[in-house]
Amino acid sequence: MPGDDRCSLGHMNENPAVPFPTPSHWIDGRPLPGSGQLIDVVNPADESVIAAVREGTTEDVDKAVDAALAAFPGWASTSPRHRAAVMHRLAEGLQQHSEELAATITLEMGAPIGFSRRAQVGFPVASTLAAITTAERFEWTEVVENSLVIHEPIGVVGAITPWNFPLQQLVTKVVPAMLAGNTVVLKPSENSPLSARMFAEIATEAGLPDGVFNVVQGTGPVVGEALSGHPKIDMISFTGSTRAGRSVSVAASGTVKRVALELGGKAAHIVLPEADLDFAVRRGLAYAWANGGQACGAYARMLVPESLQQTVVDKLRDAAEEYVVGDPADEGTRIGPLASETQRRRVDGYIRRGIADGATLVVGGPGRPEGFETGAYVKPTIFSDVDPESVIAQEEIFGPVLVVIPYVDDDHAVEITNGTIYGLSGAVTGDEDHAVAIARRLRVGQVDVNGGQHNFQAPFGGYKQSGNGREMGRAGLEEFLEIKAITR
């Protein structure tokens, strides 16, 4: 990969105890050292420092925005076919570097290596290819009676991405934005920034022109706010907590730029009376605890008929034994550490709150798992008999904590599901016609019925305080386009 400070596992910096160099910002197609303080990137499995990034400043943001603005006319004037060809080469590069990317993500945020290969890197490759297909099918110019309707790029897009899926969340914003003809300035999470820098180098290898994609490392209060309020940025796309999303909206309001937000969630998995309980439990637990439960779409609530709660709980207890907590670098590990010590403390606090509020502890509990005195580890936890209005049933925990809530009938299940501030995703298991009828009543952006195969062409986004706008598919491409009507 090009650049003086290649961000790879094979390149050692001046400190042999730290396997990565100090990744600089990536501006106008090359590394640009920053002047800010160093921010340590910590391996949550053993608390070792694996890298340090420079904290970006408003001046760094200005340089990146100016580079993106200068690159915009040339990139926007290229054909959609040309842009798709560059993205094809990018997808190939991601695939070629998949093992290195997976290992890096495991180091920087603790995802088990098998999950990193399959999801943390596999999903971005699939998402990129799906976005290319969408762009190739898209009608960039349409005739509507006596008007020519033209879809044009917005301009410079600011993207802010989280730590839990550092590469996937990047790809679902940056790739459609660039396919639409926009240029981008990205702020990745300071907790997991290394894969973003690697993406920048792979994109340059793929032939992306200088300035089309830029990376400024740093924190939300400095770099994120500078991007959100920047007068030369035409759109901000943010994924993160609902609290932070509100701050982005406020900062962006002064320039009336377009804002797309993918925020928190508290997904409910409704198990219908006729459901195959073994299937429902296996799938429900897998989607509750995948990535250590650090997913906005995690099936954090399992709603079960009152008469079946004990049966389901017994099956969950048995299924939980298969989830081995361990070193994320080990092939057999299903649950690694959480992404940071801060996150570990947060999740542990919710577990303690659930016990204090009277929920029945099925497995897990507070404190670290036995044998893990170091690292951001928590015990995967299941509660039953959970009050749907309780804190652990209402707030996004973002850890491997599943709450089981009994319901009386369909109306009650729908009421509980819709009874939070969130509306990102959900799931229903049971007879297909029955399940689809329930799914139509849920105030969420995406519903999985009976384990439907993941569709990278389907739009993803939320209702209510889970955000606005959509990612992926046609709707995800249209987020990054302006519409011009020429009437003749």
Query: What CATH number does residue 357 fall under?
Result: 3.40.309.10
| Residue environment code for 7-19, b if the CB has 16+ CB neighbours within 10 A, otherwise e | bbbeeeeeeeebb
Q: Are residues 250 and 397 in the same domain?
A: no
In a domain, 14, yes or no: no
Q: For position 14, what pLDDT does the model report?
A: 34
What predicted TM-score, i.e. pTM, was given to this entire model? 0.94
Q: Is the CB of residue 68 less than 8 Å from the CB of residue 214?
A: yes
How far apart are the C-alpha atoms of 219 and 57, rounded to whole Å? 9
Q: Is the CB of residue 457 less than 8 Å from the CB of residue 130?
A: yes
In a domain, 397, yes or no: yes
Q: Give 62 or 7, the one with higher predicted confidence.
A: 62
Q: Are residues 205 and 292 in the same domain?
A: no
Amino acid identity, residue 269? H
Active-site residue set: 262
In a domain, 20, yes or no: no
Q: Are residues 117 and 242 in the same domain?
A: yes
Q: Are residues 122 and 229 in the same domain?
A: yes
Q: For position 55, what pLDDT does the model report?
A: 93
Q: Is the CB of residue 131 less than 8 Å from the CB of residue 176?
A: yes
Domain that holds residue 325: 268-455
Q: For position 33, what pLDDT does the model report?
A: 86
Q: Average pLDDT for residues 11-31, to the nearest whole number? A: 64
Order of strands across the sheet that contains 425-429: 360-365, 379-384, 401-407, 301-305, 268-271, 425-429, 446-449
Q: Are residues 230 and 312 in the same domain?
A: no
Q: Give 264 or 8, the one with higher predicted confidence.
A: 264
Q: Are residues 256 and 277 in the same domain?
A: no
Map residue 187 onto helix, strand or coil.
strand
DSSP assignments along 17-45, one per residue: TSSS----EEETTEEE---S-EEEEE-TT
- Whether residue 465 is predicted with pLDDT greater than 50 in this model: the reply is yes
pLDDT in tens, 121-153: 999 999 999 999 999 999 999 999 999 999 999
Q: For position 223, what pLDDT does the model report?
A: 97
In a domain, 460, yes or no: no
Q: Average pLDDT for residues 214-232, to the nearest whole number? A: 97
Q: Are residues 375 and 400 in the same domain?
A: yes
DSSP assignments along 233-246, one per residue: --EEEEES-HHHHH
- Residue 375's Cα: distance from chain center in Å? 23
To the nearest whole number, what is the mean pLDDT of the chain?
A: 94
Q: For position 21, what pLDDT does the model report?
A: 58
Q: For position 17, what pLDDT does the model report?
A: 41
Q: Are residues 477 and 424 in the same domain?
A: no
In a domain, 18, yes or no: no
pLDDT in tens, 296-355: 999 999 999 999 999 999 999 999 999 989 999 999 999 999 999 999 999 999 999 999
Q: Average pLDDT for residues 187-193, to the nearest whole number? A: 96
Q: Give 324 or 228, the one with higher predicted confidence.
A: 228
Q: Are residues 48 and 164 in the same domain?
A: yes
Instruction: Read off the pLDDT band of 34 (50, 70, 90).
Output: confident
How far apart are the C-alpha atoms of 25 and 10, rounded to whole Å? 20
Q: Are residues 390 and 316 in the same domain?
A: yes
Instruction: Report percent pLDDT > 90 for the chain.
Output: 93
Total of domains in the chain: 2
Question: What's the chain's length in residues?
Answer: 488
Q: Average pLDDT for residues 261-265, to the nearest whole number? A: 97
In a domain, 70, yes or no: yes
Residue with tokens 């969340």: 169
Burial class (CB in 10 A: 0-12, 13-18, 19+), 418: middle
pLDDT in tens, 265-277: 999 999 999 999 9
pLDDT in tens, 440-456: 999 999 999 999 999 99
Q: Average pLDDT for residues 414-418, to the nearest whole number? A: 98
Q: CB 371: neighbour CB atoms within 10 A?
A: 8
N-term to C-term CA, the chain: 50
In a domain, 285, yes or no: yes
Q: Are residues 153 and 174 in the same domain?
A: yes
- Whether residue 247 is predicted with pLDDT greater than 50 in this model: the reply is yes
Q: Are residues 276 and 255 in the same domain?
A: no
In a domain, 320, yes or no: yes
Query: What CATH number does residue 239 fall under?
Result: 3.40.605.10
Map residue 413 onto helix, strand or coil.
helix
Q: For position 22, what pLDDT does the model report?
A: 63
- Whether residue 15 is predicted with pLDDT greater than 60 in this model: the reply is no
